[in-house]
Amino acid sequence: MAAKYYVTLTDYGSSLIAQAHNVVSIQLTAMVIGDANNQPYEPIDQKNRTTLVNERARVPIQSVQIEGQIARVSATLEAHIGGFNMHEYGFIDTTGQLVYIANFHGAYKPIISEGAGGELEIVTDIKADAGAQVLIQIDSNVVTANKQWVLDQLNSIKELMLSRHDIAVGDPFITTLLFNNSDEVAEHKGYGSWQKYGDGHALVSRALDSNEEAPTFMKIMGSTGGKFKHQLTIEELPKHRLPIDATTSDSGGSARPSFNFTTDAPANLKTEEIGADQAHNIVQKSIVIDVWIRTT
């Protein structure tokens, strides 16, 4: 049974094939679409044509995939193209003449303003003549991308970005999420082995060797020091004097400080104790996060 809708070489296209050989290709530049004045025809009966009966649109060819003796040619009618019934289409070369001509089933191509517009991709399989190579290529200067191709590329880029490891071995992963072990971190990140870093430690930048005030441990990467509480020593207390209040009373009840005696015995005066002998809390107001180091 003969195909109802098909594509065939025009006479012009046949002449190009006759002149071409294995290292010379026919360069297609665009797909043309028409309504044939709403009079469908058999492409084989119109092989002598170099243009469509009534061209309504022209779009760039997006790709040509060669699979053995088949060339798969793709082009897309964008959403703003339409408003007619598609009965004919074809492919032209750099001269603007039809190399291939085809018929279509007459579907109406709406446009956005009609409330039902959308892209329409037309994929055409062109078979080479018996024993011949497929000699079709496209003009790389006019290739465009349809919406689906762009979405596919964006998804590929997204997958690539997600697959990239944003934290290198030896770098920290700082998080507000609670993970119980390294495996849970690896599942969350999608890669690597991890080790819990720190145990209630504050993260501080490494001190320069020229910093004379910083303790030694602050100058060594990964070292620890300091503590949550510290018992102040006498040397660490602020320099100060404690007043001693010695009073006597006379018969009138008035009180005044008075030391009015002479003795060779040593004086041994003590003040009352103050304070509770508790360690000094040196933890500043904080917010807690978690840190893991990538090990592999």
Determine the average pLDDT of the residues in 192-196.
Answer: 92
Whether residue 167 is predicted with pLDDT greater than 50 in this model: the reply is yes
Runs of H (alpha helix) within 164-288 = 182-189
Q: State the residue for tokens 């329409």.
A: 120
Whether residue 137 is predicted with pLDDT greater than 60 in this model: the reply is no
User: pLDDT-derived band of residue 38, with 50, 70 and 90 as boundaries?
Assistant: very high
* Residues 218 and 204: beta-carbon distance below 8 Å: yes
Token digits for 137? 């290529």
**Phi–psi pair at 218, nearest 5 degrees:** -75, -10
Provide the whole-model pTM: 0.49
Tens digits of residue pLDDT in 235-293: 877 777 766 655 544 444 455 555 555 666 666 666 666 677 777 777 777 888 899 99
Length of the chain: 296
* Residues 163 and 53: beta-carbon distance below 8 Å: no
* Residues 31 and 56: beta-carbon distance below 8 Å: no
Tens digits of residue pLDDT in 44-99: 999 999 999 999 999 998 888 878 778 888 899 988 899 999 999 999 998 999 99
Q: Side-chain half-sphere of 278: how many Cα atoms within 13 Å?
A: 7
Mean pLDDT for the chain overall: 80
Of all residues in the chain, the percent with pLDDT exceeding 70 is: 77
